[in-house]
C-alpha cells in the first residue's frame, strides 16, 4: 500500500508541474478582449457620428462617387444633388370625423395672415343616401341639410376650420387658379360626383354660383380657361357625360354666372378633362373620348370655330389618335419637346401606351408600350437626364 501511495503523490506533483501556467492563457484572452472592446467602441462611434452628422458623410460619399464616375459632357449645365438631410416634423394634425375625401389639397391664404391655408373637398359617405338627410344631418353632422359633402378651409397656422361650405354632393375635385370675383384672392371651382359645378368665394366660403346636372349618373370635369364671352372674366371649359346615354358634351360655362355659353355633343362618352392647346394659329380644345371598354379618340378642334357651332361636323374636329379597344380618358401633358416653342402632346393611353404627338402638325414623335398592362395616370414630366428636354 505504501509504495502505491508514494507513486500517487509523484504522479500528482508531476501533473501539476507539467500544467502550463495561468498567465499563458490570460495573455491572449486579454488581447482578444481588448481588441473586441476597441472594435465595438469604433462601431458605436461610427453609428453616433452617422446619426449626428449625416451631411459630411454624404458629401464624402458623393465625392467618392464623383471621382469614379465617367465624365458627363452636360455636367457643367445641370448639377443634381440627392435630398438626404431633411426631416419631417408635424406642425399640426387635425381629425375630421365622419368625413371622406378624394380631393386634392389646394393651398391659398384665405384669411390674409401671410400663411397659406389648406382647402379640399369632402363627402360624408354612403349614409346620406340611406338615412333621410333631415335625420342624418341633424343627428350625425349637427347641421341642417344639405350635408352630403362640401369644401372646407383649414388655417395653415393652427389647423382650425376657417369656413366650411356644405352642398348636396360629394366633392371630389377642386380648382383654385383664378380670381373670378376680382377681390384679389383666387376662387375655387368644385366638382361633385352627382354633376355639381359650383364656384366658391374663398374669402368666406360662400357660393358665387351653382350649376347642377340632374342625377348621380352625370359626370362632369372641367377647369378655367381665358374669357370666351367678352365680359373680361375667365370662363370654364368642361366635359359632361350622362352614364345612361352614349353621348357626351364639351361645355363652356360663363365664369361670372355659371350659365352655359356652349354645349356641343361629341358623339361619344367623355371622361377626359378637356384642355386648351396654344398654337400660333389660335387655341385648340384637346379632348379624349370613349370609356374603359369602348373605342375612343384623342381629338382637337379650333376653339374659335367651335364657339360658332351648334353641332360640329367631322371637318371641325381632327382625331389625332384612335384606340380601337379603349377610350382616351387621361389628361395629356402639353410641353414642347421638339424645340419649336409649340407645345407637344404626351398622353398615356389606357392600354399603357405612352404617345408623343407633335403640337404643330399632330404627327407621331414617338410611342412606348408596356405590354399586358393598364395605365390610369398622367405621365409625370421632369428632367431625368441632362439634355434639357422634358422627360416622362
Positions touching Ca ion (CB under 5 A) are 109, 111, 113, 115, 117, 156, 179, 181, 183, 185, 187, 227, 229, 231, 233, 235, 336, 338, 340, 342, 344, 359
Helices marked H in the chain — which ranges? 2-18, 22-52, 54-68, 127-130, 133-136, 303-307
CA angle 127, 129, 135 (to 5 degrees): 70
| Cα distances (Å, whole numbers) of residue 77 to 69, 72, 73, 81, 384 | 17, 10, 9, 13, 14
Strands 161-167 and 171-178, sheet pairing: unpaired
Minimum gap (Å) between residue 267 Cβ and Ca ion: 27
- Measured from the CB atom, is 155 or 386 closer to Ca ion? 155
- Measured from the CB atom, is 38 or 115 closer to Ca ion? 115
- Measured from the CB atom, is 181 or 386 closer to Ca ion? 181
> What span, in angstroms and rounded, lies between the C-alpha atoms of 254 and 260?
6
- Measured from the CB atom, is 7 or 232 closer to Ca ion? 232
Minimum gap (Å) between residue 215 Cβ and Ca ion: 28
Q: By Cβ distance, which residue is nearest to Ca ion?
A: 338
- Measured from the CB atom, is 165 or 271 closer to Ca ion? 165
Look at the block and give the residue holding cell 369644401.
151
Look at the block and give the residue holding cell 379618340.
297
Minimum gap (Å) between residue 389 Cβ and Ca ion: 10
Minimum gap (Å) between residue 117 Cβ and Ca ion: 4
What's the CA dihedral at 275, 276, 278, 283 to 10 degrees?
Answer: 150
3-state DSSP assignment of residue 16: helix
Go through the chain and tell me how many residues it has: 392
Minimum gap (Å) between residue 387 Cβ and Ca ion: 15
Minimum gap (Å) between residue 110 Cβ and Ca ion: 6
- Measured from the CB atom, is 141 or 200 closer to Ca ion? 200
Note whether 392 and 333 are within 8 A (CB). Answer: yes
Amino acid at each position: 500500500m505504501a509504495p502505491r501511495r508514494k507513486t500517487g503523490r509523484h504522479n500528482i506533483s508531476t501533473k501539476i508541474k507539467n500544467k502550463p501556467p495561468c498567465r499563458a492563457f490570460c495573455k491572449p484572452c486579454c488581447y482578444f478582449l481588448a481588441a473586441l472592446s476597441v472594435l465595438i467602441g469604433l462601431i458605436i462611434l461610427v453609428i453616433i457620428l452617422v446619426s449626428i452628422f449625416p451631411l459630411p458623410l454624404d458629401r464624402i460619399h458623393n465625392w467618392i462617387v464623383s471621382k469614379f464616375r465617367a465624365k458627363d459632357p452636360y455636367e457643367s449645365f445641370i448639377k443634381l444633388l440627392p435630398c438626404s438631410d431633411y426631416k419631417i416634423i408635424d406642425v399640426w394634425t387635425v381629425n375630421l370625423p365622419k368625413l371622406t375625401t378624394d380631393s386634392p389639397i389646394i393651398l391659398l391664404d384665405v384669411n390674409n395672415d401671410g400663411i397659406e391655408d389648406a382647402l379640399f373637398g369632402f363627402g360624408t359617405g354612403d349614409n346620406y343616401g340611406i338615412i333621410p338627410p333631415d335625420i342624418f344631418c341633424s343627428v350625425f353632422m349637427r347641421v341642417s341639410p344639405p350635408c352630403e359633402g362640401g369644401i372646407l378651409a383649414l388655417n395653415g397656422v393652427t389647423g382650425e376650420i376657417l369656413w366650411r361650405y356644405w352642398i348636396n354632393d360629394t366633392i371630389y375635385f377642386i380648382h383654385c387658379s383664378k380670381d373670378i370675383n376680382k377681390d384679389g384672392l383666387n376662387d375655387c371651382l368644385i366638382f361633385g360626383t352627382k354633376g355639381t359645378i359650383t364656384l366658391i368665394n374663398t374669402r368666406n366660403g360662400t357660393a358665387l354660383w351653382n350649376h347642377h346636372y340632374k342625377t348621380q349618373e352625370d359626370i362632369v370635369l372641367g377647369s378655367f380657361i381665358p374669357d370666351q364671352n367678352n365680359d373680361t372674366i375667365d370662363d370654364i371649359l368642361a366635359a359632361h357625360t350622362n352614364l345612361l346615354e352614349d353621348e357626351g358634351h364639351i361645355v363652356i360655362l360663363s365664369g361670372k354666372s355659371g350659365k352655359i355659353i356652349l354645349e356641343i355633343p361629341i358623339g361619344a362618352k367623355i371622361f377626359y378633362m378637356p384642355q386648351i392647346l396654344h398654337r400660333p394659329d389660335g387655341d385648340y380644345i384637346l379632348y379624349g373620348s370613349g370609356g374603359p371598354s369602348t373605342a375612343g379618340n384623342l381629338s382637337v378642334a379650333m376653339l374659335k370655330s367651335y364657339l360658332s357651332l351648334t353641332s360640329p361636323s367631322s371637318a371641325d374636329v381632327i382625331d389625332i389618335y384612335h384606340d380601337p379597344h379603349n377610350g382616351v380618358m387621361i389628361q395629356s401633358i402639353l410641353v414642347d419637346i421638339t424645340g419649336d416653342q409649340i407645345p407637344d402632346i404626351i398622353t398615356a393611353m389606357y392600354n399603357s401606351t405612352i404617345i408623343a404627338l407633335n403640337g404643330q402638325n399632330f404627327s407621331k414623335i414617338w410611342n412606348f408600350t408596356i405590354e399586358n398592362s393598364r395605365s390610369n395616370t398622367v405621365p409625370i414630366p421632369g428632367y431625368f437626364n441632362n439634355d434639357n428636354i422634358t422627360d416622362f
